[in-house]
Amino acid sequence: MTGTAEAFWLARPGAGEIRPVDVPEPGPDEVLVRTLHSGVSRGTETLVFRGGVPESQHGAMRAPFQDGDFPAPVKYGYLNVGVVEQGPEELLGRTVFCLFPHQTRYVVPADAVTVVPPQVPARRAVLAGTVETALNGLWDAAPLIGDRIAVVGAGMVGASVAAILSRFPGARVQLVDTDPAKAAIAAALGVDFASPPDARDDCDLVVHASATSAGLTRSLELLAAEGTVVELSWYGDREVSVPLGEFFHSRRLTVRSSQVGGIAPARRGRRSYADRLAVALDLLADPVFDTLITGESAFAELPTVLPRLTGGELPALCHLITYPTGE
């Protein structure tokens, strides 16, 4: 055995704890990683924390290296950046991203880690999983040059989508949120901001990421005739009301789902999961993504941090977790 590490577990819905875990000696095709930082994906992880994963989705919602089962006890998470301490020579000492939960050290297959480009700081690299979700959503959306686009919901995923679209040629991009404080996020990303009542309509494309019925309704209202809403929200166990009367049919609107668990059909035959993650990490060379890291705590504080994030006492997009050996 390599020894023990510490990991964050959801002991029961609404209560987490740090537990010791065994770390095996890595095999010939495995790596031992010492975690520098992990990220709390506020939307999904707070839903898991409150026990909101529907039973029908327990299998679909499993993280790649999850231990335990929903609703609890479960070790869950998927934004982890660390340094390879043992493994193949070409990976030794490299900073890597892995879809691993919050844990101080861990062993995984060598092909489960992706080397972080040298121009991407380890702290920013925790966003790779979220930027990958945004990238896949935009592969599904297929925006065109000069499109009029709204992104409804300025959370972690919506802000990532806006950050990518901010560099899209000729596009009119507006970030829409009920929280006026998100205007500062939009300004930092280089896109316009509006509250839902003031958002510009006649959109060719709306990306919805607010995880609310009201947000989805407003997204449909903002579309031009024959426009499309790409739905990136995941609602867990909540029912959603969608207004399919009124103008939905007369304007021939489309609602299209997007989910990072599968590569967008437009790229499925030509891009692997590794390719998609590599593109996301390349995008993170842009310092604008630092805007999405809006809080930071030590690993030992996770049992008290997640209840505050879930309850809204601690507002955040991505909340960064720093480890004792972190930078």
In CATH terms, the superfamily for domain 142-257 is NAD(P)-binding Rossmann-like Domain (3.40.50.720)
For domain 3-127+284-322, is the CATH number 3.30.479.30? no
pTM summary value: 0.91
- Tokens at 271, concatenated: 């891009």
- Please give the C-alpha separations between residue 179 and each of 191, 195, 196, 203, 314, in angstroms, as whole numbers: 16, 7, 10, 21, 14
CA distance 192 to 264: 27
Per-residue confidence (pLDDT) for residue 2, from 0 to 100: 61
Phi, psi of 130 (to 5 degrees): -75, -40
Task: List residues bridging with 41 in a β-sheet.
Answer: 318
* Per-residue pLDDT, 326: 46
The pLDDT profile of the chain, 327 residues, written as one tens digit per residue, is 468 899 999 999 999 999 999 999 999 999 999 999 999 987 789 889 999 898 988 988 899 999 999 999 999 999 999 999 999 999 999 999 999 999 999 999 999 999 999 999 999 999 999 999 999 999 999 999 999 999 999 999 999 999 999 999 999 999 999 999 999 999 999 999 999 999 999 999 999 999 999 999 999 999 999 999 999 998 777 788 888 888 899 999 999 999 888 899 989 989 999 999 999 999 999 999 999 999 999 999 999 999 999 998 988 899 999 999 644
* Strand ranges of the sheet holding 67-68, from the earlier edge strand across to the other edge: 15-23, 3-12, 74-75, 67-68
Given this model, what pLDDT does residue 240 score?
A: 84
**Cα distance between residue 194 and residue 174, in whole Å:** 7
Are 88 and 31 in contact by the 8 Å Cβ rule? The answer is yes
* Tokens encoding 142: 């297929």
Q: What is the pLDDT of residue 43?
A: 78
pLDDT of residue 261: 82
Domain with CATH 3.40.50.720 in the chain: 142-257
Torsion of CA 136, 142, 148, 153, to 10 degrees: -20
What residues does 136 pair with on adjacent strands?
A: none
| Residue-averaged pLDDT of the chain | 94
Q: Which of 110, 108, 113, 112 is nearest to 96 (CA)?
A: 113
The residues, any chain, with a CB within 8 Å of residue 311's CB and separated by 6 or more, are none
Q: Which residue has the tokens 């790409």?
A: 230
Residues of the chain with CATH 3.90.180.10: 3-127+284-322
Q: Tell me whether residue 197 is exposed, middle or buried, using C-beta atoms within 10 angstroms of its C-beta: 0 to 12, 13 to 18, 19 or more.
A: exposed
Closest by Cα among 325, 228, 296, 320 to 38: 320
Nearest alpha carbon to residue 232 among 126, 98, 135, 99: 135
Q: Cα separation of 1 and 3, whole Å? A: 5
10 Å CB burial of residue 326 (0-12, 13-18, 19+) is buried
Tracing tokens 């065109």 back to the chain, one arrives at 144
- How far apart CA 28 and CA 169 sit, in angstroms, is 46
Contact 128, 51 (CB under 8 A): no
